[in-house]
Amino acid sequence: MFDNFPLWPARASTAAGNVDALYIFLIIVSGMMTLLVFTAIVIFAARYRHRRGVLAEQIEGSIPLEVTWSIIPLGVFMVIFVWGAVVYFHSRTPPRDATDVYVVAKQWMWKLQHAEGQREINSLHIPVDRDVRLIMTSQDVIHSFFVPAFRMKQDVLPGRYTTAWFHATKAGTYHLFCAEYCGTQHSGMIGDIVVMEPAQYEAWMSGGNTGPLSATGEKLFAELGCATCHRSDTQGRGPTLQGVFGQPVQLQDGRIVTADENYIRESILDPGSKIVNGFKPVMPTFQGLVNEEQVNALVAYVKSLSGASAVKTNTAMAQPTAPAKGNQVQ
């Protein structure tokens, strides 16, 4: 609305419309309820003000009325709940072919790594009309990635990945805020989301390239000696990682887990916690030997081994897909 005095945030993503619709519905419902109660109070207060010789009428109550004004609000609340749940579900379920962007939050800045390789600090360039999935972790305390124009917010935790996604619909520059108090410069941990037309985005992408993130990961994979045990055949001391991402994995204790980003990350930093069935617990931990960005690169590499048609999963809601292929896990 007004540039200096906005009363409504910009609407720049597919989610924004959904959230705004529910919000407006709630404003209308609350407004009606408020009006109802306020009107009743004002009318009663005026009409029944104390007058000499007029007594109050003692009324015990009314069970039908109590039931009515319990059931009707409950019904309205259930409508709001379901609507809110549907909007939430949609905003929590990234589409399958979303472009990945890895985010590392630290006091007090945002570090972003595109899958194509670009690195950014405190800004994120993305093209209009593309599904983008953020895979985020923190180096220190809890932060929160908040883009009001996208109606999107997700806490960023140390020690694990959390994900979020959006689909930008309007070119422009929008605020990025940290929304979880994180210390001294919490209010300084802000940035820009720059949504560009596809042509401009291509132009931006081609300038200054370090190669795709997965290539960085591949290099690290060799440098750190991962390839010694995780060979591309099944002869290694560790399971092969070809095609493993997104698939169910059977563990030594009988559990079956899905190999999502958090699983890969945990396998690197805390390998003893989940041993794949049929393998010995000999993998050393790389905690302290790799930083968060390097872990992101390795994860991107492992994902790339599953090919373009691999299932991309939302770490918050892992869904097992096809049964495990014979040459991966025993």
Partner 1 sequence: MSMATPIVTPVEREDYLNKEYGVASWLLTTDHKRIALLYLISITFFFFIGGFFALLIRLELLTPAGDLVQADTYNKLFTMHGQVMVFFFLIPSIPAVLGNFLIPMMIGAKDLAFPRINLLSWYLYIIAGIMMLHCILTGGVDTGWTFYTPFSTAFSNTKVIEAGLAIFVSGFSSILTGLNFVVTIHRMRAPGMTWSRLPLFVWSHYATSIIQILGTPVIAITLVLVVAERALHLGIFDPKLGGDPLLFQHLFWFYSHPAVYIMILPSMGVVSEVIACFSRKRIFGYHFVALSSLAIAVFGFLVWAHHMFVAGISVYAALVFSLLSYSVAVPSAVKVFNWTATLYKGSIHYDAPMLYAFGFLGLFTMGGLTGLFLAALGIDVHVTDTYFVVAHFHYIMVGGALMGYLGGLHFWWPKISGRLYPEGWARLAALIVFVGFNLTFFPQFILGYVGMPRRYYQYPGEFQVLNVMSTAGATVLGIGYLLPMIYFLWSMRYGKPAPDNPWKAAGLEWQTQSPPTTFNFEKEPVVTWEAYNYDEIDTGHKEEVKVVG
Partner 2 sequence: MSDSQATAQTSVHEDLHSPALLHHFATEEQQRNASSFGMWIFLGTEVMFFGGLFVSYLIYRLWYFGDFGAASKSIDAGLGATNTAVLICSSLTVVLAIWGAQIANRKLMIGSLILTMLFGLAFLGIKGKEYKDKFEEHHVPGASFSFEKVPIPGHPDQYANPRHAQIFFALYFVMTGLHALHMVVGLGIFTWLLIMAWKGRFTPEYHTPLEIGGLYWHFVDIIWIYLFPLLYLIDRHP
Rounded to the nearest 10 degrees, what angle do helices 14-47 and 63-92 cross at? Answer: 160
d(CA 257, CA 283): 19
Shortest distance in whole angstroms from residue 69 CB to partner 1: 5
Shortest distance in whole angstroms from residue 260 CB to partner 2: 17
x/- mask, partner 1, residues 173-202, rule CB under 8 A, reads --x-xxxxxxxxxxxx-x------------
Among 17, 31, 73, 281, binds partner 2 (CB under 8 A): 281
* Residue where the block lists tokens 């095609």: 243
Say how far residue 43 (Cα) sits from the centre of its chain.
48
Q: Which is nearer to partner 1, 107 or 200 (CB)?
A: 107
Best CA proximity match to 243, nearest among 308, 154, 189, 316: 308
Which distant-in-sequence residues (6+ apart) come within 8 Å of 167 by Cβ? 13, 14, 15, 95, 129, 130, 131, 132
x/- mask, partner 1, residues 33-72, rule CB under 8 A, reads xx--xx-xx--xx--xxxx--xxxxxxxxxxxxx--xx--
Among 94, 117, 127, 148, binds partner 1 (CB under 8 A): 148
Q: Does 330 bind partner 2 (CB under 8 A)?
A: no
d(CA 150, CA 220): 35
Of 251-280, binders to partner 2 (CB under 8 A) are 252-253, 270, 272-273, 275, 280
CA atoms within 13 A on the CB side of 24: 7
Q: Does 107 bind partner 1 (CB under 8 A)?
A: yes
d(CA 164, CA 166): 7
Which distant-in-sequence residues (6+ apart) come within 8 Å of 67 by Cβ? none
Taking CB under 8 A as the binding criterion, the range among 26-34, 222-230, 238-246, 275-283 that sits at the site for partner 1 is 26-34
63 binds, among partner 2, partner 1, none (CB under 5 to 8 A by kind): partner 1
Among 109, 128, 141, 220, binds partner 1 (CB under 8 A): 141
Q: Which is nearer to partner 2, 288 or 323 (CB)?
A: 288
Of 39-68, binders to partner 2 (CB under 8 A) are none
Q: Does 31 bind partner 2 (CB under 8 A)?
A: no
Which distant-in-sequence residues (6+ apart) come within 8 Å of 103 by Cβ? 110, 111, 112, 113, 134, 135, 136, 137, 145, 156
Shortest distance in whole angstroms from residue 98 CB to partner 1: 17
